[in-house]
Amino acid sequence: MNNIVGKLNMRSAKYTILALMAIFIISGNLFSQQKRARDNYEFLKLLPKYSQTDNLPATRVDFTVTLSDGTILDALKFIPQGTPPAGGWPTVVFVHGYGDNKETLAGFAQAQAEYGYYTTTFSMRGQGNSTGLSNLISTTEAQDMIQFINFIKQDVAGGINPDNILVMGGSQGGLVPYMACTMGMNVKTIISALAPPNFATSWIENGCIKMTLLWTVEYTPDTARYTPQVERMSDWIYSSTKNHWDSLAFWLPQNRDFMNLIPNNRVPLIMEGSWQDKFFNASGIMRASVLNTGSTFHLYLGAVQGHGGDNSPTEDTWHMQFFNDWFFYWLFPNNGVKMPAANYDYASTLYPVNGLYWTFQHDSSVTALQNISSQYRLYFNTNNRLTVNPGTNNNTRVAIRNQVTGGLTMEEAVNEEFTGTVFTSKFKKNTRVFTSPVLSSNKKWVGIPKVNLNYLSSASTFTQYNFQVLEVLPNGKEKLINRINYTDRNYTANSRRTANFEGQAHSHIFKSGNRIKVIVTNLDTHADDQWFLGTNPFVLPVLKNGYNYMYLNSSSYIEFPVINAADEQADNNTLNSDPYRFSLSQNYPNPFNPVTVINFSIPVKGLVTLKVYDITGREVKTLVNDIKEAGNSAVTFDGSNLASGVYFYNIVSGNYSDTRKMILVK
Predicted confidence (pLDDT) at residue 3 exceeds the cutoff of 50:
no
- Give the other-Cβ count within 10 Å of 318's Cβ: 22
Mean pLDDT of 623-640: 86
Predicted confidence (pLDDT) at residue 93 exceeds the cutoff of 80:
yes
Percent of the chain with pLDDT over 90: 69
Per-residue pLDDT reduced to its tens digit, 306-336 = 899 998 988 888 887 788 788 888 888 766 6
Least trusted range by pLDDT, from 126-140, 328-342, 646-660? 328-342
Per-residue pLDDT reduced to its tens digit, 578-630 = 445 677 888 777 778 888 888 888 888 889 999 999 878 889 999 999 988 87
CA distances (Å), 476 to each of 383, 445, 469, in order?
18, 21, 15
Return the CATH number of 2-340, one of 3.30.465.10, 3.40.50.1820, 3.40.50.2300, 3.50.50.60.
3.40.50.1820
Letter for the amino acid at 382?
A: T
pLDDT for the residue 16:
24
* Separation between Cα atoms, residue 416 and residue 636, nearest integer Å: 50
Identify whether the C-beta of residue 182 lies closer than 8 Å to the C-beta of residue 255. no
Say how far residue 545 (Cα) sits from the centre of its chain: 36
Per-residue pLDDT reduced to its tens digit, 425-436 = 999 999 999 999
* Separation between Cα atoms, residue 44 and residue 323, nearest integer Å: 10
Predicted confidence (pLDDT) at residue 387 exceeds the cutoff of 50:
yes
- Classify domain 583-664 at the CATH topology level: Immunoglobulin-like (2.60.40)
pLDDT for the residue 301:
96
State how beta strands 189-193 and 160-170 pair: parallel
Say how far residue 412 (Cα) sits from the centre of its chain: 32
Instruction: Identify each DSSP E strand in 442-551 by its residue range.
Output: 443-447, 450-457, 461-472, 478-491, 497-502, 506-510, 515-521, 546-551
pLDDT for the residue 601:
82
* Separation between Cα atoms, residue 514 and residue 130, nearest integer Å: 53
Instruction: Give which of 285, 241, 240 is closest to 262, Cα–Cα.
Output: 285
Predicted confidence (pLDDT) at residue 339 exceeds the cutoff of 90:
no
Mean pLDDT of 64-90: 95
* 608: CB partners within 8 A, 6+ apart: 600, 602, 624, 625, 626, 627, 628, 633, 651, 652, 653
pLDDT for the residue 319:
82
Give the pLDDT band (50/70/90) at residue 50: low
- Give the other-Cβ count within 10 Å of 184's Cβ: 13
Find the Cα–Cα–Cα–Cα dihedral 451, 457, 461, 467, rounded to 10°.
-30
Q: Please, what is the average pLDDT of the chain?
A: 87
pLDDT for the residue 603:
80
Q: What is the DSSP string of 60-107?
A: EEEEEEE-TTS-EEEEEEEEESS-PPTT-EEEEEEE--TT--GGGGHH
Per-residue pLDDT reduced to its tens digit, 468-481 = 999 999 999 999 99
CA distances (Å), 551 to each of 274, 390, 461, 590, in order?
33, 11, 20, 57
User: Sheet harboring 656-664: ordered strands across?
Assistant: 619-628, 606-614, 645-653, 656-664
- Quick one: three-class SS letters along 524-554? CCCHHHHHHHCCCCCECCCCCCEEEEEECCC
* Domains 374-566 and 583-664 alike in fold: no
Predicted confidence (pLDDT) at residue 366 exceeds the cutoff of 90:
no
Predicted confidence (pLDDT) at residue 44 exceeds the cutoff of 70:
no
Percent of the chain with pLDDT over 70: 88
Give the pLDDT band (50/70/90) at residue 21: very low
pLDDT for the residue 31:
29
pLDDT for the residue 20:
24
Instruction: Identify each DSSP E strand in 126-274 by its residue range.
Output: 160-170, 189-193, 269-274
Per-residue burial over 557-568, b if 16 or more Cβ lie within 10 Å, else e, is bbbbbbbeeeeb
Instruction: Give which of 607, 601, 587 is closest to 655, Cα–Cα.
Output: 607
Predicted confidence (pLDDT) at residue 417 exceeds the cutoff of 70:
yes
List beta partners, residue 491.
Answer: 461
Predicted confidence (pLDDT) at residue 530 exceeds the cutoff of 90:
yes
- Give the other-Cβ count within 10 Å of 308's Cβ: 18
CATH superfamily membership of 374-566: Galactose-binding domain-like (2.60.120.260)
Mean pLDDT of 498-526: 97
* Separation between Cα atoms, residue 329 and residue 297, nearest integer Å: 13
* Separation between Cα atoms, residue 412 and residue 427, nearest integer Å: 11
Predicted confidence (pLDDT) at residue 491 exceeds the cutoff of 70:
yes
| End-to-end CA, the chain | 25
pLDDT for the residue 33:
31
Which range of 110-114, 364-368, 508-512, 596-600 scores highest in mean pLDDT? It is 508-512
Find the Cα–Cα–Cα–Cα dihedral 356, 361, 367, 369, rounded to 10°.
-20
Predicted confidence (pLDDT) at residue 68 exceeds the cutoff of 60:
yes
pLDDT for the residue 577:
36
Instruction: Give which of 64, 204, 202, 49 is closest to 128, Cα–Cα.
Output: 64
Say how far residue 148 (Cα) sits from the centre of its chain: 26
Domain range list for the chain: 2-340, 374-566, 583-664
pLDDT for the residue 58:
95
Give the pLDDT band (50/70/90) at residue 4: very low
List beta partners, residue 126.
Answer: none
Letter for the amino acid at 283?
A: S
Give the pLDDT band (50/70/90) at residue 154: very high
Q: How many helices (H) and strands (E) does the chain have?
A: 14, 33
Identify whether the C-beta of residue 122 lies closer than 8 Å to the C-beta of residue 73. yes
Cα Rg of the chain (Å, integer) = 26
pLDDT for the residue 192:
95
Backbone φ and ψ of 385, nearest 5°:
-105, 145
* Separation between Cα atoms, residue 424 and residue 408, nearest integer Å: 10
pLDDT for the residue 52:
58
Q: What is the DSSP string of 140-154?
A: HHHHHHHHHHHHHTT
pLDDT for the residue 594:
87
Least trusted range by pLDDT, from 44-48, 55-59, 125-129, 176-180? 44-48
List beta partners, residue 95.
Answer: 122, 169
Q: Angle between the 228-238 and 242-251 helix axes, to the nearest 10 degrees?
A: 140
What is residue 492's three-state secondary structure? coil
